[in-house]
Amino acid sequence: MPDQEHVVGVPLRRLPGWLAGFAARHGAWEAVSSEAVSGWDLVAADAARAQVLAPAWLAATLPEPFDPEALAGLAPAYGLLLLRRAGYAVAAFEGVEVVEKKVGTRHIHGRTAAGGWSQQRFARRRDNQADEIVGAAAEHVDRILGPRTDLEFLVTGGDRPLLNAALKAIDRRLADLPLGAHLGVGTPDAKMLAVVPDRVLAVQVRIGGPQPDPVRGPLDPSTA
C-alpha cells in the first residue's frame, strides 16, 4: 500500500492519550532526531511515522528530549483579543484557565435599500460603530492585560482590519507581544472563550507510513 499522509490537530493536554492510541495501532514508537522542522519525528514499530510540529509560541524553546507528559502540562500565560463588528472578547489565560475576561456585544444595523443621503448616513453609522467597538476592545485589553508582565504571547481572532486598528490603540508593550495564533471565529462570546485553549495550546501532527492512521484529532476541522 502506498504511503499516505495527513495532518491532525491535537490539544497538548490530550497528546499523551493520542500517542498511546498511535502506539496501540502501530506498535511502540521512538523519537528520532530531526533538524528539518521545529518539532519531533516519531517512528513506530511498523514504520508508521508521526511528525509532531511545535506551535510558533513554543518553537523557540523546544523541550528535549521529547516528553508528551511534559508538553501536556505546559501552562503558558497569554492574552486573547477576539474582535468583530458584532462584539469583542478580551481575556488573560494561564494554560487552559481564564484568569480574567470581558465580553461585549454591539447591535449592528442592517443595510438600507435607500440611496443618496440615507445610504451615506448608514455608512457613517457603520464607521462609528466600528470605531466604538475598536475603542472598547482596546480599553479592556489595556485594563486586563496591561498590568501583567508574564504574558508570553497574544492570540487574536476575527476581523483583521478591526484588529489592526485595536493593536495600534493599545499599549505598545502589549502590541509587540509575539502573536501565538490568529483564530477564525464567529461572534466572540463566552462559549468561544471555552474552546480557545484547545485551539491555541495544540500541536499539528503529520502522520504518514505504510498503514494509514485514522484521523482522531479532537478539533473540528470546521473550527480550526
Residue-level pLDDT at 177: 95
Q: Which residues of the chain have pLDDT under 50?
A: 1-2, 112, 211-224
Contact 77, 148 (CB under 8 A): yes
Q: Where are the domains of the chain?
A: 4-74+201-223, 77-197
CA 77 – CA 137 distance, rounded (Å):
20
CA 126 – CA 124 distance, rounded (Å):
5
DSSP 152-219: -EEEEEE-HHHHHHHHHHS-HHHHTSPEEEEE--SS--HHHHHHHHHHHSEEEEEEEESSPPPP--SS
Residue-level pLDDT at 64: 80
Chain mean position to CA 6: 20
Superfamily of domain 77-197: eRF1 domain 2 (3.30.420.60)
What does the pLDDT look like over 146-186, one tens digit per residue?
Answer: 999 999 999 999 999 999 999 999 999 999 999 988 999 98
